[in-house]
Amino acid sequence: MNSGELVQIDVGSWFNASHPPFALPFYAKQSIPTLDQVLTLLENQTGRELIAYVELKTVRRQSVNAELAQTVVDLVEQRNLQNRVVIISFNLRVVELVKELSPAIRTGALFGPRQRATHSARGMVSATLACGADEILLHHLLVKRGILNLARAANLNPVVWTVDDPKWLSRARMLGLHALMTNNPAKMLKSLQQSS
């Protein structure tokens, strides 16, 4: 689907139906925001140090990927959000392209269990450096002290995805992780506030 089709999808009515005590008319007919809308929200969060990770989902055609990278870079630069957006992808050629288009934008290389089958810890760090990324983003099953030590030695910020168990908060502190990505930010924030 293109963005025009995506914004037509009602993603809010289900919540009212599933959670009547919390239902609000405002939730009905909510749609998927465009990246431009998300960046506007981020831009308007003055006084807050919120950072958005923008994952580029790529296809086989390099020309399409190049157009996607250029469009996203343009949106970030138009809003002067280079310090508040990290562009990430499993496609390391696209990460490299983003860095070439705008060296000021932070980038990250994504690795999951599939990539682990073809890359050693040293290979993942080397591939991250080769594409010019600032951060290495590891699936939680890949997090071991060895790869974290290699990443830090290479001046890469280690980020772990997707963690929904609050036990990861203390583990992140212990391991010196740069960031955690979660599907349940409210649960993680609540746990973080309770532990402070």
Check residue 51 and report its DSSP letter.
Answer: -
The pTM of the whole model exceeds 0.85? yes
Contact by Cβ (8 Å): 152, 127: no
Asked whether residue 72 falls in the same domain as residue 94, the answer is yes
- Give kind and range of the element (H or E) at residue 98: helix 92-101
Both 107 and 85 in one domain: the answer is: yes
Same-domain check for residues 4 and 99:
no
Identify the domain containing residue 146 by its residue range: 33-195
Q: pLDDT class for 116, splitting at 50, 70, 90?
A: low
pLDDT tens digit sequence for 4-41: 898 889 988 988 999 999 899 988 888 899 999 999 99
Residues 14, 97 within the same domain: no
d(CA 74, CA 80): 10
Task: Identify whether residues 27 and 89 lie together within a single domain.
Answer: no
Let me know: does 108 contact 69? Beta carbons within 8 Å: no
CA distance 112 to 134: 17
Average pLDDT over residues 71-97: 97
The number of distinct structural domains making up the chain is 2
Residues 49 and 133 in one domain: yes
